[in-house]
Amino acid sequence: MSHHLFLLSPSDTPIYSLTHYSSKPAQSTSYPLASNLPTWSTSAFAGTLTALSGASSVTQSHHVPGGGVKMGGGQDRHVVQMIANASLDNIEDVMRRENAMYLKSVDKFNEWTVSAFVTPGNVKFVLLHDQAKNDEGIRAFFHDVWELYVKTMLNPFHTAHTVIRSAAFDARVRASAKKNL
Amino acid sequence: MATPSKQYKAIGEDLWKSRTEKVNAELFALTYGALVVQLIQDYEDYGEVNKQLEKMGYNIGTRLIEDFLARSSVGRCSDFREVGEVVAKVGFKSFLNITPTVTHPPPTSRPTSVQQTSIPTSSFILTLDENPLAEFVELPEEALEGGLWFSNVLCGVLRGALEMVQMQVQAEFLSDVLRGDETTEIRVTLLKYLEEEVPMGDE
């Protein structure tokens, strides 16, 4: 069971991403996309635009909003990022309707569900996961990530649009993911 | 008679408690952080930023010493060693509520001094285990490579304050946890005692 987390700045630029392989037992679902990601991996958004052009060949009826996301290599990452981007529209819809921070699941694509969390500063946390009903865990995880994010924001060298490169932040997010997801 | 160091600690504690106007630590740290970031953007050279921070600290120090001497009843220090104790236990405590540890390396006489100095060079090292200025800070790559001393204003404050009490010193950072070192250390070296000079133009 794997999860993908993306943090997006108020201007919809990616700040951080994480892929996490949970060790919790999951319902057996068959994945049409064979997930060949290594157990723990993160990508800093330093991919090339050629990957983006390659992604257009994936059959995807959604129009991708939210700006050009540079992607890392790998077929699966493309689709994952496409899904995340495509869900931004849905997130904004739900945001307009509800005032809560934790928007539960905003979108579904094949076996992936997208949950979102919007901070008061309009930073979006997007989590892709499969069907496992883990609402409370996800909520707790989002709150943890939010706290860690706030601490990072207090760093004067950090602006709302800087990519988060801190190893400490990374380690703590992974630990929280392990605990909650 | 209580040992001077315990006395100083008590004086420092009292001064801190009796201070009625305190400022929020987060506000302080964020303000200083914004200042440093702005300086970096303006000067774009980390060496220059260090110098500017030191200069600003110098201006602060020259005024701060008056406040310090007015509030505390600490008399004249007998030697440079005692200066180190007072600075650490009373000075830092009453303004920043931290007590850095003081160490005194053995004094070395400078062989290559221009004029014959009869006083061997004394210095002390302040080891700060916490730094309220750098509360949430993580230095980015360029700052690490450029040699930025984030809290360099403290060196300026020490230099300014001690100059007003007739000591010319040099204060510099030896290590900083923000840079990945084990500890944060400032070395204060006495250059010379300043003689009382008649101001120019007076008769």
**Could you read off the pLDDT of B53-102 as tens digits, one per residue?**
999 999 999 999 999 999 888 888 888 999 999 999 999 999 999 999 99
pTM above 0.95, yes or no: no
CATH of the domain at B94: 3.30.1380.20
Give the highest mean pLDDT range of A72-86, A110-124, B81-95: B81-95
Nearest to B159 by CA among B188, B186, B132: B188
Whether residue A11 lies inside any domain: the answer is: yes
How many CB pairs (< 8 A) connect A and B? 27
B137 chain-A contacts, CB cut-off 8 A: 155-157
The stretch B153-164 carries a mean pLDDT of: 95
What is the distance in angstroms between the Cα of B87 and the nearest Cα belonging to chain A? 29
**Got the DSSP string for A60-88?**
--S---SS---B-SSHHHHHHHHHHHHHH
A167 touches chain B (CB under 8 A): no
Q: How confident is the model at residue B111 (pLDDT cuts 50, 70, 90)?
A: low
Whether residue B102 lies inside any domain: the answer is: yes
Q: Which residues contact B66 (CB under 8 A, 6 or more apart)?
A: B164
**pLDDT higher than 80, residue A18:** yes
Nearest to A129 by CA among A93, A173, A92, A80: A80
pLDDT of residue B191: 92
- Percentage of residues in chain B having pLDDT higher than 90: 67
The stretch B181-199 carries a mean pLDDT of: 87
Write the burial class of residue A21 (CB in 10 Å: 0-12 exposed, 13-18 middle, 19+ buried).
Answer: middle
Q: Which residues contact B186 (CB under 8 A, 6 or more apart)?
A: B100, B125, B126, B128, B154, B155, B158, B171, B172, B173, B174
Domain that includes residue B178, residue range: 45-107+120-193
A160 touches chain B (CB under 8 A): no
A156/B135 touch (CB, cutoff 8 Å), yes or no: no
Per residue in A56-71, pLDDT tens?
Answer: 333 333 333 333 333 3
Per residue in B23-58, pLDDT tens?
Answer: 999 999 999 999 999 999 999 999 999 999 999 999
Per residue in A98-107, pLDDT tens?
Answer: 777 777 777 7
Q: Which residues contact A30 (CB under 8 A, 6 or more apart)?
A: none
Number of domains making up chain A: 1
Q: Tell me, what DSSP letter sits at residue B177?
A: G
Q: How confident is the model at residue B120 (pLDDT cuts 50, 70, 90)?
A: low
Whether residue A42 lies inside any domain: the answer is: no
Whether residue A95 lies inside any domain: the answer is: yes
Whether residue B187 lies inside any domain: the answer is: yes
Number of domains making up chain B: 1
Contact B20, B121 (CB under 8 A): no
AA identity, residue B89: K
Compute the mean pLDDT over every residue in chain B, rounded to the nearest whole number. 88
Whether residue B12 lies inside any domain: the answer is: no
**Got the DSSP string for B123-158?**
EEEEEES--GGGTT----HHHHHHT--TTTHHHHHH
Whether residue B32 lies inside any domain: the answer is: no
Domain that includes residue A103, residue range: 2-27+77-180
Chain B's closest residue to A152, CA to CA, is B136
Whether residue A22 lies inside any domain: the answer is: yes
Chain B's closest residue to A149, CA to CA, is B136
Q: Tell me, what DSSP letter sits at residue A162?
A: S
CATH of the domain at A94: 3.30.450.70
Per DSSP, the three-state class of B196 is coil
